[in-house]
Amino acid sequence: MPHNVEIFDSTLRDGAQGEGISFSVQDKLAVVRALDELGVSWIEAGNPGSNPKDMEFFRLAGKLRLANATLCAFGPTRKKGATLEDDPQLQSLLAANTTAVAIFGKSWDLHVTEVLRVSLEENIAMIAETVTFLKGRGKTLVYDAEHFFDGWLANPSYALSTVKAALDAGADRIVLCDTNGGSFPNTIAEGVEAVLALAAGQSAIIGIHAHDDSGFAAANTVVAVKAGARHIQGTLVGFGERCGNTSLAAVIPSIEIKLGLPCLPAGKLELLYDMTRRVAEIANVPVPDNLPYVGAHAFSHKAGMHADAIIKIHKSFEHIDPALVGNDRNFLMSEVGGRSAIAERVKKLDPSITRDHPVTAALAQKLKTLEAQGWQFEGADGSFELLVRRELGRHKPFFHIDAYRVVSEHPTGETLACSHAWVKVLVDGQHEIAAAEGEGPVNAMDGALRRALARFFPELVKVRLSDYKVRVIDGIEATAAKVRVLIESTDGINVWTTVGVSADIIDASRAALVDSIEYKLIGDMENNT
């Protein structure tokens, strides 16, 4: 084995069964490339018998030259009463032309008699015959014992007999599935130990496949590994049916760093942060901010005492060095953050700044004043950096908005509502006027502003708004209350967030938009010098 623990990613099969997840063929190929670059051992790429899209994917995927991963097609055991040669699902597995296949069979007698509606003996035969058939055609065989832990609790002898049928037929991997996601860690450990005893003396590797319906997927996976499992299944970001699958991004570091069992090729663990985001971007879902190890908040510190302690000794409030997984610590800027945290952030722009520097004191006071007025910078890294640059005297605006107008139309009838914006900007003594139409006032203003600036800064064509949030700061004032607008922007590579506050939602949006553009232009200028 190249690694102590095999990683089997099911993003393209089990993950694709999650609500709101839909992959095109090109999406699936892009996910395969990302997972292979990360260094996972196995990629379960779909069920070729379920739809033509998956079969087209397997045709194209066969041309990929993968450095680390083995592609695996997925399907069920033969149908009841069917011959192996005539079973369409088995024929589609062969047609996928992968060197490995994963098949699932029933371990819970309830499913055998009430779902499949076959005898317990017929189910055993279906498992054994399917494994024998596919092994006879040269396939590496991963056998998923579906609902194993529910079956083991209900009828342990029968659940183990289904596993023994797969083992005796030559399965290379036996994967115990907590399909309903309801098992507790002690049940997982006991079940894994029972199967390891059953498989003693055989070459098959025992694995775990957990779902998160009780919030135990990561814990159950780690417990299974501690009990002796050496093959873990999940999806990199954790999405999947119902509450999702084990997030591999959340358990790989625990197994590698804390159990000392390598899961990825040497040097690949530090790619985990970036690759998790790449796969999430392809799936068009966000990486949860609180996802362990690789979430945006995984190493964020806000309390002043915590930040001060972290600066003195990292392990005081961090369980690992974030750089091990490609992440970074983040000091959240707020009135409770403290001078140590502020100084640490400012050092990225000016290494001479210390906790006791006058600039640090001035920024601390300014943060308190602005947050009392409704501003919040802990989630607005772009606006905070601009605030620091202004305090350091290192910011000269690239442009100035002389005037702007936003008009929204709400016609009656079938005509859709729309918004129009007009903007007049000044850049190096030159005026430019532009207008745009948008689906809403902020969309229209964003379009008009970037259109006005495009002649001077063509790189802005790459920038788009990726998120927009509004919060009423003081609901007591009702419609006269101030609002805080957070805008997330991206140029396709970097992501940054800016903030604006005003009693006028359009003006708050304007402030956040201006900061967003200024932040992008400063970054480009410094990267080109």
**Is 427's pLDDT higher than 70?**
yes
Q: Which residues pair with 168 in a beta bridge?
A: none
Residue type, 405: R
Distance between CA atoms of residues 165 and 77, nearest Å: 12
**Is 340's pLDDT higher than 90?**
no
CA distance to 113, 129, 145, 291, per residue, from 122 (Å): 10, 10, 16, 43
Distant-in-sequence, close-in-space partners of 462: CB < 8 Å, separation ≥ 6 = 491, 492
Residue of higher predicted confidence among 478 and 242 = 242
In tens, the pLDDT along 240-257 reads: 999 999 999 999 999 999
The pLDDT value recorded for residue 1 is 38
Look over the chain and give the mean of its residue pLDDT values, rounded to a whole number. Answer: 89
**Is 52's pLDDT higher than 90?**
no
**Is 318's pLDDT higher than 90?**
no
pLDDT band at 2 (very low <50, low <70, confident <90, very high): very low
User: What sections of 228-271 are H helices per DSSP?
Assistant: 248-253
**Is 20's pLDDT higher than 80?**
yes
Q: Helix, strand, or coil here: 62?
A: coil
Mean pLDDT across 363-391: 81
Surface-to-core class of residue 417, CB atoms within 10 Å of its CB (0-12 exposed, 13-18 middle, 19+ buried): exposed
